Amino acid sequence: MSDSQATFMEVRSERLDGRWAVVTGSSSGIGRAISLRLAAAGARLVVHGGHEAARARGVAEEIRRAGQVAEVVMADLAAPDQQDRFVASVLDVCGGPPHVLVNNAGADVLTGDAGNLTFEEKLETLWRVDVVATMRLARAIGAAMRSSGRGVILNLGWDQAATGMEGDSGEMFSAVKGAVAAFSRSLARSLAPHVRVNCLAPGWIRTAWGALAGDAWDRRARAESLSGRWGTPEDVAEVAAFLAGDASSFLNGQVIDINGGRP
């Protein structure tokens, strides 16, 4: 094997051994998939849950059974005092700033009782969790990362925030996730060069809502992807794992669509 081939193989097999990673909203869906994928790469995980403690503990146990370290920190990220407590707990558990922060937590206003809220109530809920919590956690932990001289922050956006989508949900999510994308670009500038900040923008992903979607939504999701299928939480997790590692060290301040391509 040539030197260039050996170097390529080393980059391709790069791991996250010994690094602490924090994934908010990691008790199910995309957050769970990202947590398991980062753990598979060798990271030690802080698993976060808002109200589903049993689920969060279940994810942590999956990680432990695979031989990795996992700790659970519960917090309702809609409340500023609990956001502050979460940051303090993370710094304590990790013994300092984590190497990776994934701001995945988002309010579910489409299923369950929340689906019956008014437009204004849904928007307020989304704003507090998806935007304010993301900003406050990223700024606080990002400042600690910068002081340590290293770190990666990944925030969860939405691919259609840039293009728009009709209807109440489209209006709400485009505003909220558009704010997350804009914030991510700005925070990347604030924390550069030692801390990288990127925004993941998933498209149609088969999460809890997607599993309940009717035929019309299923046809639309498949039509709006060059891959002709729904995405999976694991599709998002693979991109997150790449961005968490050093092989992506020249990617910063980007909004990365994960949608199979849009026609």
Q: What is the layout of strands, in order, in the sheet containing 100-103?
A: 70-74, 44-49, 20-23, 100-103, 151-156, 195-202, 255-258
pLDDT at 145: 98
Structural domains in the chain, CATH included, are 14-107+119-203+233-257 (3.40.50.720)
Q: How far is CA 130 from CA 11, 19, 175, 179, 206, in A?
A: 33, 25, 11, 9, 19
CB 242 within 8 A of CB 16: no
Question: How far is it, in rounded angstroms, from Cα 254 to Cα 149?
Answer: 20
Q: By C-alpha distance, which of 211, 210, 221 is closest to 259?
A: 221
Beta-carbon-side half-sphere exposure of residue 57 (alpha carbons within 13 Å): 4
pTM above 0.85, yes or no: yes
Question: How far is it, in rounded angstroms, from Cα 116 to Cα 154?
Answer: 31
Residue 102 phi/psi, 5-degree rounding, is: -115, 110
3-class SS of residue 42? coil
**Other residues' Cβ atoms within 10 Å of the Cβ of residue 93:** 17
- The first and second tokens of residue 20, run together, are 């602490």
Collect all residues with Cβ–Cβ distance below 8 Å to 92 and sequence separation of at least 6.
none
Question: How far is it, in rounded angstroms, from Cα 236 to Cα 229?
Answer: 14
Question: How far is it, in rounded angstroms, from Cα 158 to Cα 224?
Answer: 14
Question: How far is it, in rounded angstroms, from Cα 8 to Cα 42?
Answer: 20
pLDDT at 6: 47
Residue 230 parent element (H or E): none
First to last CA, the chain: 41
Task: Please report where in the chains the tokens 């505003």 appear, as a residue.
Answer: 175
Angle at 181 between CA 153 and CA 49, to 5 degrees: 55
Per-residue pLDDT of the chain (263 residues; tens, 9 = 90+): 455 444 444 444 469 999 999 999 999 999 999 999 999 999 999 999 998 899 999 999 999 999 999 999 999 999 999 999 999 999 999 999 999 999 999 998 888 888 788 999 999 999 999 999 999 999 999 999 999 999 999 999 999 999 999 999 999 999 999 999 999 999 999 999 999 999 999 999 988 777 777 788 889 988 989 999 989 999 999 999 999 999 999 999 999 999 999 86
3-class SS of residue 4? helix
